[in-house]
Every structure is written in structure tokens, then in C-alpha cells.
Structure 1
Amino acid sequence: MKHIIRQFGLNWFTTVMGIGIVAALTYTSPVEIPLQHVVGVILFVMLNIVFILAFVMWLLRWLMATKTAVDDFHHPGRALFYGAFAMGINVLGNDYFIIGTHLVPRVLAIHISMCIWLAGTVASLFTVIVIPYLLFTEHRVERDETVASWLIPLVPPIVAAATGTNLVPYVGGTEKQFAMIAVIVAMFGVTFFLFMLTSTLVYARLVYHRRLSGQEAPSLWVEIGPIGMSMGTMCGLPTVASHLFGAYANTLHVLAAVFAMAMWGIGLWWILMSSLHTLLHLTPRGDGLPFHLGWWSYVFPIGSFTSGTYALDHLLGHSFFAVAGVAQLAVLWVCFAVVFVRTIIGTVKGDLVAWRSVRQVKTGGDMGTRVKQA
């Protein structure tokens, strides 16, 4: 058991992110789909189970393999996934608001969602400060090692911002609501600014250095995540907080619509680029696409972009974005089904989790080399 706990990585929280966003988007599809609420509830229950298992494993790792857990902060790759941990918390809290309010008393579900959102906000701010600081001062990376995965610890604040907009009407009077909106906009600004900087580095790496390998190709899809969350945040503000902006409410509505549609366009461009990179490695010119947990980059970022399309539909009420949202949901479900099944198979076979540690013990005579399984 300790062997399994020691190898548990924070990248497992990408499964929490993926399951959670598919559950919410299925449940709230802008066009009615048969059994969408049933499927959404099933995924919501699964989300809670997977999150609890992952969270317990993370805690046990700190208790039983403390040195290994601390070493994550010194590794430029593993440290990134503290962002997945923070986003997993935020996604869980949002699902309690979207789905949980239909399963338990509404007030209770909203209080649970608010508590989880606060925890997710703290985790998000920790991640966006600590991990870049370590990258600046301790981690050693080369320019040709730049990947979009560097966005993972930078995205949590905008995920907290997008999910927090739903809760604004429930925090009390206008003073508290305005304070929460100020925090949400500030977190939006942090991630959006860092997203622009990091995307520039990723673009430069794609232009001037070797092409992404098949192992690295899924990481490019991470770029789509903050795009969708920025759309969701901006579209949510005039929906829940127009009364706080007084004479500027109409201006905010127009600004949100124009900004989100512009981001929708760049999101489609990144999806096209990411798709071409994926398809390249499926041809004889490519390296193949070996399966690993990074494949969950095919799920949450697409889900994030789909949630942004949903937000545009809610803001504008135009059938174009409703149809686009359902089309994106269909693509998301294909990706989710493939990655979910591959994850289960990889876990059972031991490709993702080595269930037994193997050590070889040399012995004399004809016995040769004996393998002991611990």
C-alpha cells in the first residue's frame, strides 16, 4: 500500500477536473438531451468518489512519504500539477452548485459550494504564487522545454473566478457582493495576464525549436482551458452583477459579449492547431501518441471552452451558440469516453499504477535470478 501511495501524483486530479466538467456540461446542455440529468448525476456521484480517493491519497502521501511529497516542489514537471489539485477543488464546488442543488436542500448545497469555492480560491492563489516563484528561482529549464503545461498552475485563479460568479448573489448584501466581484475580476486579471505571457513563450518554442513529440502533443490542448474560463467569467459578470455597476451595466454587457466572441475565435484557432499536432503523430511522420494521464488534456480544456460557449449562449440567447455548445459537448463526450476507458485499463493493467514493486535478488547455483514481489 505504501508503494502505491508513494507513486501517487497530483496529475491524478486531472481526472477529477475532467469528470466534473463533463458532469456539469451534460446536466446543463442548452439543448435538451435524453437522460442528460441522469447522466449528470451519475457523473457527479463519481466525481465525489474520485475526488475523495485522490484527496485521501494525497494526504497519506504527505503522512507516509513526506520526503517524496516535498520533492514535488523541486521538480519542474511534478510541481505544475498543484494547479490540477486547485482546479479539481473548484470544479467540485461548482458541481455542487449546478447539480447538488437538485439533489440536496438548495441552501445546504450552496453553502457546501461556497465553502469549497473558498478552499479552491486559497489553493489557487497558493499555486499561482508558489509554483512560478520556484520556476523563477529554483527550477532549471531550457527554452526548447517550454510546453503549454506551464499554464496548469496559472489557470486555477480564473477557474475560481468563473465558478465564483455563480455564487455572487448568495454572499449577502451589495457590499459583500462587490467585494467578491472585485476578487473575481482580480483573479481573472492574474491568470489572463500570465496566460498571454506564457502563450507567447509556447508560440516561440513552436516556431524556433523542435516540434512537439507524441508524448508532449496533448499538452498543447491546455492552452484552450483559460480561454474558455475567461469567456465564462466575462459573460457571468453582467448576468449576476449588473446591479453593482450602475450606469456601466449596459457597457459591461457589450464588453463581455465582444470579448467572449473574440476569445471564442482564438479558442477555435488553438483547437485547430492542437488537432493538427495530434493528427500528425497518428501518421507515419509522427511518433504515435503513447497513453498517459496527460491525455486528460483532451477533456478539461475542451470542456472549459464548451462552458465558455454555454456562457455566450446564456448572455446573448442566440441559437448559434446553443447549437455550437451541443456540438462541442458531443466532441467532448467522445474524448471523455476514450480517455476514461484508457485510464481504467491503464490502472488495472498497472501501466498507470504499479501495483507491485519488484526487486531482483541474486542467488547462487542453478536458481539464477529470483524475483521477489513486495
Structure 2
Amino acid sequence: MRRAAPFGPNLFASVMGTGIVATAGAAMPGLRTPATVVWALDAALLAFLVVAALRRWTWATVRDQLADPVMAQFWGAPPMALMTVGTGTLLLGSDWIGLTAALAIDWTLWTLGTALGLMTSVLVPLRMIGSGERAFGGWLMPVVPPMVSAASGALLAQYLPEGQFRQAMVLGCYALFGVSLFATLVIVPQIWQRLVQHGLGAASTVPTLWIVLGPLGQSITAANLLAGVHVLPGQTAFGVLYGTTTWGFALLWVAIAATVTVRTARRGLPFALTWWSFVFPLGTLVTGTSTLAKHVPSPMFTCVSIELYGALVLAWITVAVRTLAQRSA
């Protein structure tokens, strides 16, 4: 009798990856309708996984998963999945269900996702203190949700009435931005040090190198979306300056991660759910590049965002097909 595949928080990475294809597609010319269809698929996938999680997970299950030094990192996926679907609902789902309902859903998912994300940002790093574990790309997963909150919150802030409440929302989003940014600045050097001193490790962990793009691309997106709310002086300048410098490093990391991935694939890169690391992080770079294109009068960002989106869709199709094949085997 075939043993059922374990149901862990890493499954929610499929919601993140599918959702970023939809939200990134919202900014692509002529793709609004297909992007909305992908959002609907993603919302259904989230509902299915949430129901399955409520049926399968117990406090003991959660405790055991948090005790696992690898699986614990992927508890950052559920809050990001919630907020990704919420953002898609606002950007795309409003065409079908109306703006009022879309805002209500997005606020609910954003609130839940932000609360859960702040919990993972504290609890998972605390769990790693004294563990002696070596850093890998997955260590970024529990600290990226606040950056997703900052970007998603910037979109919601645009619908708040002008005044102190909107300003407080924007300031809160910048604080969430800082939570994730400075945690990333602590973790990425550890990942680099591990690569230099100990090498790549198991082939199945190589895709997690792409997770570094997550906080980079999402921070570019957040900085430039917050600039569009216009409640603080210098927001646009900060978004462009921070965005372009971070964008340059992100492209450098794409080159490194792609080269390592190709070399590993030649020797053998077995499929695992870590392959979803190819999708969402790349999608954040697409959204970040698209938001930069709105503030910088240069066709370069527009052209690059379209090219990156093509790569994103190809990665999503490849990983989704392999995931379905694995889960049904």
C-alpha cells in the first residue's frame, strides 16, 4: 500500500507561486483575463489546502514540524500564500466580485497573513538559536512574510481615506519592510558563507538559492508601491534609489543561482517541492521590475519585466506539472 505523502506547510508554496503568476500578470499588457483565471485557480487551491490543513494538522503535528530544522522554515509559506491570494483578489478578482467584496477579502487575508508572518519571523529564528544548523536559502522563508505584508498593505492603503489612518498604515508598512529587510541582511551573508566554506550540499536544496530573490524583489515592489501612496516626503525618490540598486544585486543573484542550477541539473536535480523556489522569488523580481517601470521613464525596465514574466510562466508550468505528477503517483 502506497504511503501518503506528508502534508507540510511547504505545500503552500504552490499557492505562492501560482498567485505571483496572476498578480505579476496583472501589470502585463493584454494578460488581464488569463491572469484573472490563474487567480481564481489559486484561490481554489488555497481553499483546498486550508481545509486539508485543518483536517490533518494537530498541535502535535505543528510542534513536530517546528522541531524539524528544515520544515520549520517553510512555515513562512502559509502567511505569504494568504496575502498573495488577497492581493490577487484586489488586483484581479474585483473584476468578477466587485471592489467592495475584494477589499473585504483582501483586508481579511492581509490581517491573518501579517499576524502569522510576524509570528514566524520571531518563533522560527528563535528555534534556530543554538541549533548548530548551517544556513540555507530556506532560512529566509519565515522572515519574508512581513515584506509581503508591506507590499500588499501599500495597495490597501490607497483605498483608505486621506489622513492619519492612511499615514499610520503606510508607516506600519515601512516598519514591516524593515523587519524583513534587516533580517535578510543578517541571513544572506550566512548563506554566502556556507556556499564558500561548505559547498552546495544536497542537490535538492539547490533550488532554495532562488529564495534570496524573494526579499530582494518583494522589497523593490514594496518600496515603489508605498511611493504611490504619497503621504510622506521623498517616498518616490526612496523607491527609485532603493529599487534600482537592489535590482542590480538581484540580477547578479539570478546569474549566480541560474549557473549553479544548470551545473547541478547536469549531474542530476531530483524533483522536490523545493522546486517552487524557482517560481515565487522570480515572480517578485517581475513585480519589482514592473513597479520600477512605472516610476522610471526607461523602456529597459518594461522590456526586462516582460522577459522575466515569460521565464516565470515557463517555470510555473514546469513545476506545477511535476508537482501534480508527484502527488498523484
Instruction: Please confirm whether the aligned pair reaches a TM-score higher than 0.5, indicating the same fold.
Output: yes
Summarize deviations over 1:77-122 as a string: whole Å, max 9, x none: 1111110011101101111111111111212211211121111111
Conserved 8 A contact 2:149-2:173: yes
Please give the alpha-carbon distance, in whole angstroms, between the structure 2 residues aligned to 1:68 and 1:77: 15
1:120 alignment partner AA: G
1:147 aligns with 2:147: no
1:45 aligns with 2:40: yes
Conserved 8 A contact 1:61-1:69: no
Q: Which of the residues 282, 300, 307 maps onto 1:302?
A: 282
2:104 matched residue in structure 1: 111
Q: What does 1:148-227 correspond to in 2, within 5 Å?
A: 148-227=137-216
Conserved 8 A contact 1:27-1:39: no
Q: What does 1:207-286 correspond to in 2, within 5 Å?
A: 207-240=196-229, 242=230, 244-245=231-232, 248=233, 251-283=234-266, 286=267
Q: Which of the residues 84, 89, 96 maps onto 1:96?
A: 89
1:338 matched residue in structure 2: 318
SS across alignment from 2:204:
coil
1:55 aligns with 2:54: no
1:280 alignment partner AA: R
Conserved 8 A contact 2:213-2:250: yes
1:104 alignment partner AA: I
- After superposing the two structures, state which structure 1 stretch, 251-260 or 15-24, moved more: 251-260
Summarize deviations over 1:123-171 as a string: whole Å, max 9, x none: 111110111111115xx233xx320110000100001101110010223
CA change 1:51–1:343 in 2 (3 A) is same
Return the index of the structure with the highest Cα Rg.
1
1:17 alignment partner AA: M
Conserved 8 A contact 1:26-1:37: yes
2:327 alignment partner AA: T
SS across alignment from 1:346:
helix
Identity %: 28
2:8 matched residue in structure 1: 9
SS across alignment from 1:7:
coil
TM-score by length of 2: 0.95
Please give the alpha-carbon distance, in whole angstroms, between the structure 2 residues aligned to 1:49 and 1:175: 36
- After superposing the two structures, state which structure 1 stretch, 206-215 or 95-104, moved more: 206-215
Post-superposition offset of 1:212: 3.5
1:178 alignment partner AA: Q
Conserved 8 A contact 1:20-1:44: yes
- Which 4+ runs in 1 deviate beyond 6 A? none
1:353 matched residue in structure 2: none
- For structure 1, the residue ranges without an aligned partner over 5 or more in a row are 350-374
Q: Which of the residues 67, 74, 84 maps onto 1:74?
A: 67
CA RMSD in angstroms comes to: 1.5
2:189 alignment partner AA: T
Please give the alpha-carbon distance, in whole angstroms, between the structure 1 residues aligned to 2:195 and 2:243: 26
Post-superposition offset of 1:296: 0.3
Conserved 8 A contact 1:220-1:274: yes
Structure with more helix by fraction: 2
Conserved 8 A contact 1:17-1:84: yes
SS across alignment from 1:172:
coil
Post-superposition offset of 1:69: 2.7
2:111 alignment partner AA: L
Post-superposition offset of 1:68: 2.5
1:83 aligns with 2:83: no
Please give the alpha-carbon distance, in whole angstroms, between the structure 1 residues aligned to 2:274 and 2:297: 35
Please give the alpha-carbon distance, in whole angstroms, between the structure 2 residues aligned to 1:15 and 1:315: 31
Summarize deviations over 1:48-93 as a string: whole Å, max 9, x none: 1110111111111234xx4223211111111111100111011011
Conserved 8 A contact 2:213-2:282: yes
Conserved 8 A contact 1:239-1:315: no
1:75 alignment partner AA: D
Conserved 8 A contact 2:117-2:146: yes
Please give the alpha-carbon distance, in whole angstroms, between the structure 1 residues aligned to 2:64 and 2:42: 28
1:311 alignment partner AA: T
Post-superposition offset of 1:317: 4.2
Please give the alpha-carbon distance, in whole angstroms, between the structure 2 residues aligned to 1:237 and 1:37: 23
Q: Number of residues paired by the alignment?
A: 327
